[in-house]
Amino acid sequence: MDGIRKSSLGMLLASLFSISCCSAERSANHFNALAVEPGAKPDEVVRALGIAPGMAIADIGAGGGYFTVRFARDTGPAGVVFAVDINREFLDIISQTAASEQLRNVKTVHATPDDPGLPAHGVDLIFMRNVFHHIEHPVAYFRRLAGCLRPGGRIAIIDYRPGSLRTLFHSVPEERIITILREAGYRIAARHEFLERQSFTVFMVDGNTVRR
């Protein structure tokens, strides 16, 4: 009887694991599909970021890994791309994709909601697409991120603007993003207007701001 119970429990756990993996894969594919839909303009986004070989980039909220992979190709073997996410299953999927494409410059980072887990002064660019509205304590979070940037480093934030039922609970006004980043000690480096439903703002640490 015990053997039957153990066998049933093992089958249940295996089934739950399979469902979880399939769910993560579906979610990853969904995120990647959103990244390449016509309105997302991924080619224009990547060009606007001015990525060069040898750069260190952090893709925070990497999801399905679409931009992680693109950045890894563009930075080349001398560069490094940190795929940062709080979901370990997404990171496993990204690792598998990187391995299948022989991209050895991708490093996955299992983060927490309050800590991205990046090395101090370790990145040239932090990229956050549709992530800002999920951050609970944004001022504190971005103050922490400032310590992860190299001199002259940038943070690029893309997020949905309010005004659509599709993104009712997944949007944030660009002015709120700007206000939060200024409070955290940043200044605007660039604003891009080519995305119809999203804001795209780039920030740098403000050297004139006294940080607390």
In the numeric block, which tokens belong to residue 89? Answer: 């299953």
Report which of 116, 123, 52 is spatially closest to residue 81, judged by C-alpha positions: 123
CATH number where 25 lies: 3.40.50.150
**What local confidence, expressed as pLDDT, does residue 27 receive?**
86
**What local confidence, expressed as pLDDT, does residue 146 receive?**
97
Cβ(79)–Cβ(85) under 8 Å? no
Kindly provide the b/e burial profile for residues 137-161, where b requires at least 16 CB atoms within 10 angstroms of the residue's own CB: ebbebbbebbebbeeebbbbbbbbe
Q: Which domain holds residue 57?
A: 2-205
Total domains in the chain come to 1
Task: Tell whether 212 is covered by a domain.
Answer: no
**What local confidence, expressed as pLDDT, does residue 9 receive?**
40
Task: Tell whether 143 is covered by a domain.
Answer: yes
**What local confidence, expressed as pLDDT, does residue 10 receive?**
40
Task: Tell whether 211 is covered by a domain.
Answer: no
Task: Tell whether 44 is covered by a domain.
Answer: yes
All residues at 6 or more sequence positions from 101 whose CB lies less than 8 Å from its CB, including other chains:
69
**What local confidence, expressed as pLDDT, does residue 165 receive?**
61
**What local confidence, expressed as pLDDT, does residue 12 receive?**
35
**What local confidence, expressed as pLDDT, does residue 30 receive?**
85
Task: Tell whether 156 is covered by a domain.
Answer: yes
**What local confidence, expressed as pLDDT, does residue 20 receive?**
45
**Consecutive sets of 10 residues in the chain, 212 residues long: mean pLDDT of each?**
42 38 79 88 97 98 96 97 96 96 97 96 97 95 98 97 75 96 98 96 82 38
Sign of the torsion angle spanned by Cα atoms 146, 150, 152, 153: negative
Task: Tell whether 51 is covered by a domain.
Answer: yes
Phi/psi at 185 (5° precision): 105, 25
The pTM for the full model equals: 0.85
Task: Tell whether 101 is covered by a domain.
Answer: yes
**What local confidence, expressed as pLDDT, does residue 99 receive?**
97
Task: Tell whether 210 is covered by a domain.
Answer: no
